[in-house]
Amino acid sequence: MSPNEGFGFEPIIFSYIDELKILFFPDQWSSAFLDYSKNEILALLFLYRNKRANMTEISDYINAPLNTTTGVISRLEKKLMVERKRDDEDRRVVNIVLTEKAEAFIDQEKKIIEYYFREVYKVLTDEEKLAAMNIFNKIISILKQGRNKEKEENQTAKKVKRIIIE
């Protein structure tokens, strides 16, 4: 019998979900992030790290079509989190930048997240830290492979069959 044979993953999955649901409770974190969509948060974080970007760069990062990204940035503009600025050298180029409000917001949220990372880091031994990082990297690698395999399967499934009509 192999180590995984007859092994039920369902109880483990639901057990982890039950334990990790605390991550989604507003009282555990700042509820401010709950006011933003996934794409809005990703766009804000991308801009925070890159300082400025055009719509195509943001679209590529959040893995969304350009028209979706335009809507995301428009909503962030209405919330006073980003501004559209024309490039000084080429006025045709429009860059998206964070406002001071957005910078302060992300800095505050980062402090909360950093607190929890520090608390976890303190209780782990060096060996456990290394093992956790190795496991995390393997999980990310498998998740990325799964998405790529799924895309490849969908692309091959979409091939058009030629039917000869007589």
Average pLDDT over residues 69-92: 94
- Predicted pLDDT of residue 159: 60
* pLDDT at res. 27: 62
What pLDDT, on the 0 to 100 scale, is given for residue 3? 55
| pLDDT value of residue 82 | 98
In tens, the pLDDT along 67-78 reads 999 999 999 999
Where are the domains positioned within the chain? 10-99
- What's the whole-number mean pLDDT along residues 19-29? 66
What are phi and psi for residue 160, nearest 5 degrees? Answer: -85, 130
Of residues 128 and 147, more confidently modeled = 128
| Residues 37-62, mean pLDDT to the nearest whole number | 96
Query: What per-residue confidence (pLDDT) applies to 43?
Result: 97
Local confidence band at 100 (pLDDT 50, 70, 90 cut-offs):
very high
Residue 62 has pLDDT above 70, yes or no: yes
Q: What is the CATH number of domain 10-99?
A: 1.10.10.10
> Could you tell me what percent of the chain has a pLDDT over 90?
51
* Least confident residue range of 17-21, 59-63, 119-123, 160-164: 160-164
pTM, two decimals, is: 0.71
Q: Is the model's pLDDT at 151 over the cut of 60?
A: yes
